[in-house]
Structure 1
Amino acid sequence: MKTEFILLRHGETEWNTLGRLQGHRDSALSAKGLRQADALAVRLASVPFQALYCSDLGRARETARRIAAHTGHPVLEDGRLRERGLGILEGLTRDEAGQRHPEVFAEYAAGGPDFIIPGGESASQRLRHAVECLEELGARHVGARVVVVTHGGVLSSLFRRCLGIPPGVPRAFSVLNASWSQFDYHQGAFRLVTWGDVNHLRDDSRDDT
């Protein structure tokens, strides 16, 4: 029997709008991000699922909290679902990061999976934590549907893993805020079913995704 995961990216944050690298630092959901979280909540209110998990970072917690207000599920936090720690680059725009830490930012931008940002971590370290968590949840909720609110970096890495896209290959796909993706977990492996669905956002004329 499989476990069905609905993996959600958190709603847009103030730092998303400014193009700032967040990592483990946090920024409040923007007005648009709050609407996005509420749209996810409305959609999920009609979808039966067994449990609601989220990253322990504020932007994911707030998205999950707004979902829980509609569905009645307790919000279960797990730090392994966090975004990649970006260390000395956190809080900077890409231009600022390139100016202040040119060598570090160049390595980060190159996308090497094992490059550890000073004060942060590598993409492979973060993926390992996230996969460990999801595998545990898959074993815990066999035959059920589970909702997980996480981050763009985690989703991107899992997408590459499922499709065999090398980490260093430039990203040719979007990971939109409040997007809805489905992965099935069966016999120790993840299978991509749906990627980046944002149909729940279309009713908001103020949303431009």
Structure 2
Amino acid sequence: MNKQIYILRHGQTRFNAEGRLQGHCNSALTALGESQALALGRALYRHLQQSGETAQQWQVIASPLGRAIQTAQRVCEGLGLDDSAIQTDERVMEARLGDWEQQAINDIMAAHPQLTGRADWYLQAPNAESLEAIKARLESWLADPATPQKIILISHGLTGQILRGKLGGLTDAAMWQLDRPQDAFYLYSQQQLSRHPVSQ
């Protein structure tokens, strides 16, 4: 696959700060989340400059969930792009976490101690989206002829983790060990993934 993809996670949200699960529900970015998103955009701008490219050569694609749109707006600000540059695609939304959405992680773990230490515990909720379903929609997005070749993707923690696992050819066990940073972005280029930390 010849695509080049910058993979970004949304900034910190209120539910992130409170230790609650979001999934397909949404909570707004915190002040820290707003600054993280702007810092991502500015760092990306510098990275593109160093590569001899401009943001206009790339398509910004975001999950349609509010926290990703908010982040994409701040990223575009850092890149010098207008919000109209943002396209959305439901296939890069966060995993649906079923009956556990909006619940506190501590409460979930207290009620289900057997999940302690299990990296894929998020998807064990009643009515949660399966890993296979998430992979299928990401594969559909990657293979779609309408998906651009140069993408700045603003997605989510779990979805970004699963996408990077797929792009890196990792086993599920190795994929679940990947990080989900809000202070770094990844670049997939020439079939290699590289991590780029961001200072605020």
Q: Same fold (TM over 0.5)?
A: yes
When residues 135 and 108 of structure 1 are mapped into structure 2, their CA distance, relative to the original with a 3 A threshold, is farther
RMSD of aligned alpha carbons: 2.9
Match of 1:88? 99
- Give the superposition deviation at 1:97: 1.4
Within the alignment, does 1:156 sit opposite 2:156 as a pair? no
Q: 2:133 aligns with which of 112, 116, 125?
A: 125
Gaps of 5+ in 2: 49-53
Gaps of 5+ in 1: 186-190, 205-209
Match of 1:111? 120
Identity of aligned residues (%): 25
Within the alignment, does 1:77 sit opposite 2:77 as a pair? no
Aligned residues: 189
- Give the superposition deviation at 1:14: 1.1
When residues 24 and 109 of structure 1 are mapped into structure 2, their CA distance, relative to the original with a 3 A threshold, is farther
The 5 A counterparts of 1:8-87 are 8-46=8-46, 47=48, 48=54, 49-69=57-77, 70-72=80-82, 74-87=85-98
Q: Deviations over 1:151-195 (max 9, x none)?
A: 11112112333444432458444211142111137xxxxx23213
- Give the superposition deviation at 1:77: 0.6
Work out the CA distance in 2 between the residues paired with 1:192 and 1:132: 20
Work out the CA distance in 2 between the residues paired with 1:158 and 1:94: 23
Q: Deviations over 1:55-84 (max 9, x none)?
A: 011110111122234323521011110110
What is the TM-score with the length of structure 1 in the denominator?
A: 0.77
Work out the CA distance in 1 between the residues paired with 2:10 and 2:30: 11
More helix by share: 2
